[in-house]
Every structure is written in C-alpha cells, then in structure tokens.
C-alpha cells in the first residue's frame, strides 16, 4: 500500500505541469515551462533539500538532497508521515506539524541522523478557503555554512598575511635594501668576494667612485653575515662636524662638558652592539681623530668622554671611501698605519662605465621600483634604452636611479622615449638644437644654457646641493638655488 502511494505521489504532485498557471497569451511556443522530467531533474539538482508534506502530515515530495542529509533515498521518505520519520530518528524536531497548526512561515534548526545541523524554513501553502493544503520546507545544512565561515576566516587570515608580506616587500623594494643588481662579470666577482668576506669579522675597506653602491654593499655584507640580527649603523664621516666627532663615535657621560645632555649619550660604537658599524667617507676623518680611531681599533676598546672605564668594541667595522686612500697616504693626508689597519680586505666596486652590461638591468630594476612606488606603468622605448646604455654615467648607479625616478614622475606618456630624457644623456654631437648654444642666441641666453648643463650634470652625478656646490666650486646656497631654477626646465 505504501509503495503504491509513493510513486504516483512522488511524480504527480505538485510537479504536474497542468498545475501551473500558464500565461493565456497567444505565443509561438504555447508551453514555455520545462516538461515534467526536466522539472524533476532541476529539483534533484538543487543543493538545498526541498521537503513537502500535505495537510495530513504525509511527505508528498522530497528531492535527492535528502540522500546527503539522512543517508536514504527520496522513495523511502515519500509517503511517510512526519512523526514516522521523526520516530525513525531521521531528524528532530519535526517542523511541518508546527506550521500546519500555526499557518505561518517558521524557521528552526534541526538535527539529522547523520549529525548534520540544518536550518529549516517551512512555508504553508493555503487554498482558496484559507486551509493549509501543504507545507513546503527548505532545508540548508548549517554545519556547511560553518565550514564556509571557517574557510572565509582562513582566507581572510591568509589575505592579511599576504598584505603584510607585500608591504614588507614593497618597503624593502622602495628602500633598495638588499637588492643588488649584478649582471656583469665584474660585479658578479665583486659580490662573490663580498659573500666570502661576509662570514668573517675582518675590517673591510669598500672603495669605488661616488654612487657605485658602497653603502648598499656594506649593508649586504652585514645582512649576509652572522651579525645580521644585530644593528647596522652607517656614519657619514664627512657630515659630522670635527668638534662633535669624538662624542658621536664614543658617546659621553652626563655632564661631561658644558652643553652636554644630563643623561649622557651613547656613542655609535656602543649603539652598533654586536652588529656592524659602517664608517663611510673615512678619508674625511679629521687627522687627530685618525690616531684615536687607530688606537681604538687596535685595542678593541674605548673610553667615552667623561668616563674613566673602558668599553669593549663588539661590532664589526666596515669603512668606505670614494677617494684613493693610498694617494692620500702618499700626500701625507691620511695616516699610513690607519690605512693598513683598515685595508685588511679591500673590495673595489667598478664604475658603471666599467660594467656597461649592468646598465639595462639597472634601468629595468629602478623602473620597476618607481612604477610600483608611484603606481605608474611606464616602459623605455628601444631608442631611449639605446641612448641610456651609451651614456657614460659619471654619477654611476645613483645618477641612473635619479634619472629613472625623474622620468617616471614627469613623463606624460607611458612610453619613455628620447624626448622624455634629460639633455645630459645625449652625446654632444646629437645635442638637441633647441638646447645647444648657437649663433642666433645672445651671450646671456648661451650662458644660461651652459649653466643649466653644468648644474644638471653635477646634480645627476652628485645628488645633494652640498656635493654639487663642492663640484662646481660655489656656495651650497647658490648650488641649491641653481638646482631649483633648472629643475623645472
């Protein structure tokens, strides 16, 4: 009897196409609805469960999702009273009877025999007389929702982690730290030597013309050394006034001299701790301090100003210079004994002109860096690359980096062509006629152009107004004014 009930009920109600109210308009296709078989297939492919009972509480339809929820086929449930299914332990509590009684849509949670937690929304279907004809239930697995929530939370965590990593990578990228472009054989050899030397504690003298990357190499030595977790401190010896040199390097005790801070001050040797101290522009160190530095390096200890006890030096010392220290020794401008103390290992960084194979990789490296930094999408045209790879780069990598930053910021087009490049990179014979002094100009105009050329060249090569002033033999304030004047044209 039950099996007799099952089939016709399962397939005849409420899915019979006859029960749908079709539009009565004349159409080419008189039956726009899918046929019965298609409708059944659609319902069986719903992810949520659809469970329908009639006014007597007997199941008249359930789709295939019930197999997932109770481990039984629809034919075993269809024809069964709700309480029967509940008694068999398929689910608890039964929701249909509540809705049959209250005639109102209701939402409850329900547990199934397979341990799933379901969210059930049951809706009464009323006939013309207001009586409940059937209750249609939609069942969604909440345990799955929980899993989706967990997955989402996990994805969010991953996203947060990736964002942090991207931020770290960006800041590393923007500061240029750790990224040494070395495609040429000469630079590869330099790096190879640096990597070997990084492992020992010897003092290293890093030489090379301005802007070749001495500071970058010093940081690389520190970061590749066993001291990488301790501080890396750079001191520009040229920038410290002579009278402050000692207190900066060795520190002072409270009240050591008039004007000294009452708290005293730790010197850079102490601050470097077990890390690395990079004394850049070592040739600029005042002569009486050269003797003191030699003594400290030999003794491996120092006394801060106003103290009467020694402090040990734990840090590794690296020194850098763009001058020929040996020549300075010969001229009596640098102590010979200090030179030999510092020159245990020398690493000389070649100029960019000595390693032209690095020019295009460096251009690409800085283009990526500044495109990322300024959210641009520029690229160099083949013509521009050709001009740039033939430039002599007197200011070395620094000049190249400044040029790329400038053109990325100022170029109106995505493609950076020769018209976007500054005059200094053009070979003299190809000088832009608009730029070069010519017969038709008066003296002031011609001088103005020469001034512009010299200032721009010095700026590309040296960067700061201090160094431009030194190179052009003018005051720093004049250098600054001229740099401002010619920066916009």
Among 176, 251, 350, 394, binds ligand ATP (CB under 6 A): 176
| Shortest Å distance, C-beta 218 to ligand ATP | 8
Among 60, 181, 205, 268, binds ligand ATP (CB under 6 A): 181
Using CB under 6 A as the binding rule, whether residue 397 contacts ligand ATP is answered as yes
Give the footprint of ligand ATP on residues 333-362 (CB under 6 A): none
Closer residue to ligand ATP, CB minimum distance, 80 or 212: 212
Give the footprint of ligand ATP on residues 310-329 (CB under 6 A): 322
Residue span binding ligand ATP (CB under 6 A) among the ranges 49-57, 155-163, 212-220, 422-430 = 212-220
| Shortest Å distance, C-beta 424 to ligand ATP | 17
Closer residue to ligand ATP, CB minimum distance, 99 or 347: 347
**Which residue has the closest beta carbon to ligand ATP?**
213
Closer residue to ligand ATP, CB minimum distance, 82 or 424: 424
Residue span binding ligand ATP (CB under 6 A) among the ranges 178-186, 296-304, 416-424, 438-446 = 178-186
Q: Return the HEC string of the chain.
A: CHHHHHHHHHHHCCCCHHHCCCCCCCCCCCCCCCCHHHHHHHHHCCCCEEEEEECCCEEEEECCHHHHHHCCCHHHHCCCEHHHHHHCCCEECCCHHHHHHHCCCEEEEEEECCCCEEEEEEEEEECCCCCEEEEEEEEEEHHHHHHHHHHHHHHHHHHHHHHHHHHHHHHHHHHCCCCCCCCCHHHHHHHHHHHHHHCCCCCEEEECCCCCCHHHHHHHHHHCCCCCCCCEEEEEHHHCCHHHHHHHHHEECCCCCCCCCCCCEECHHHHHCCCEEEEECHHHCCHHHHHHHHHHHHHCEECCECCCCCEECCCEEEEEECCCHHHHHHCCCCCHHHHHHHCCEEEECCCHHHCHHHHHHHHHHHHHHHHHHCCCCCEECHHHHHHHHHCCCCCHHHHHHHHHHHHHHHCCCCEECHHHCCHHHCCHHHCCCCCCCCCCCCHHHHHHHHHHHHHHHHHHHHCCHHHHHHHHCCCHHHHHHHHHHHHCC
Among 94, 96, 208, 251, binds ligand ATP (CB under 6 A): 208
| Shortest Å distance, C-beta 436 to ligand ATP | 30
Using CB under 6 A as the binding rule, whether residue 79 contacts ligand ATP is answered as no
Using CB under 6 A as the binding rule, whether residue 137 contacts ligand ATP is answered as no
- What is the per-residue binding string for ligand ATP in 229-268, x denoting contact by CB under 6 A? ----------------------------------------
Using CB under 6 A as the binding rule, whether residue 220 contacts ligand ATP is answered as no
Closer residue to ligand ATP, CB minimum distance, 124 or 320: 320
Closer residue to ligand ATP, CB minimum distance, 159 or 169: 169
Residue span binding ligand ATP (CB under 6 A) among the ranges 214-222, 304-312, 403-411, 473-481 = 214-222
Using CB under 6 A as the binding rule, whether residue 215 contacts ligand ATP is answered as yes
């Amino acid at each position: 009897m039950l099996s007799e009930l099952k089939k016709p009920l399962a397939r005849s109600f409420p899915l019979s196409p006859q029960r749908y109210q079709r539009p009565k308009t004349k159409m080419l296709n008189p039956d726009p609805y899918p046929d019965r078989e298609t409708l059944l297939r659609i319902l069986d492919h719903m992810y949520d469960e659809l469970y329908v009972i009639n006014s007597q509480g007997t199941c008249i339809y359930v789709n295939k999702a019930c197999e997932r929820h109770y481990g039984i086929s629809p034919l075993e449930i269809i024809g069964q009273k709700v309480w029967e299914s509940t008694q068999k332990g398929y689910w608890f509590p039964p929701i249909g009877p509540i809705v049959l009684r209250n005639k109102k849509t209701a939402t409850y949670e329900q547990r199934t025999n397979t341990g799933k937690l379901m969210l059930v929304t049951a809706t009464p279907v009323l006939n013309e007389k207001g009586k409940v004809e059937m209750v249609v239930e939609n069942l969604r697995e909440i345990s799955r929702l929980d899993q989706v929530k967990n997955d989402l939370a996990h994805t969010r965590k991953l996203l947060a982690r990736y964002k942090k990593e991207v931020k770290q990578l960006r800041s590393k990228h923007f500061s240029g730290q750790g990224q040494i472009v070395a495609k040429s054989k000469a630079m590869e050899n330099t790096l190879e030597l640096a990597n070997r030397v990084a492992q020992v504690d010897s003092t290293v003298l890093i030489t090379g013309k301005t802007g070749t990357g001495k500071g970058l190499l010093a940081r690389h030595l520190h970061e590749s050394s066993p001291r990488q977790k301790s501080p890396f401190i750079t001191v520009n010896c040229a920038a410290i006034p002579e009278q402050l040199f000692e207190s900066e390097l060795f520190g002072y005790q409270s009240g050591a001299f008039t004007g000294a801070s009452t708290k005293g001050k730790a010197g850079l040797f102490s601050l470097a701790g077990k890390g690395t101290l990079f004394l850049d522009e070592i040739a600029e160190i005042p002569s009486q301090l050269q003797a003191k530095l030699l003594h400290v390096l030999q003794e491996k200890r120092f006394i801060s100003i106003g103290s009467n006890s020694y402090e040990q030096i734990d840090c590794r010392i690296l020194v850098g210079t763009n001058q020929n220290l040996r020549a300075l020794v010969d001229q009596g401008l640098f102590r010979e004994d200090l030179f030999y103390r510092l020159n245990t290992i020398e690493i000389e960084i070649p100029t960019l002109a000595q390693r032209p194979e690095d020019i295009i990789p460096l251009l690409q490296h800085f283009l990526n860096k500044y495109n990322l930094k300024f959210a641009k999408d520029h690229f160099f045209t083949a013509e521009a690359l050709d001009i740039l790879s033939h430039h002599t780069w007197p200011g070395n990598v620094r000049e190249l980096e400044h040029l790329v930053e400038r053109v990325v910021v100022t170029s109106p087009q995505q493609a950076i062509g020769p018209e976007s490049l500054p005059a200094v990179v053009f070979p003299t014979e190809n000088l832009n006629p608009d730029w070069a002094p010519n017969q038709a100009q008066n003296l002031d105009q011609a001088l103005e152009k020469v001034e512009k050329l010299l200032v721009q060249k010095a700026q590309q090569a040296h960067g700061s107004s201090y160094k431009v002033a030194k190179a052009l033999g003018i005051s720093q304030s004049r250098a600054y004014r001229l740099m401002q004047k010619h920066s916009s044209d």
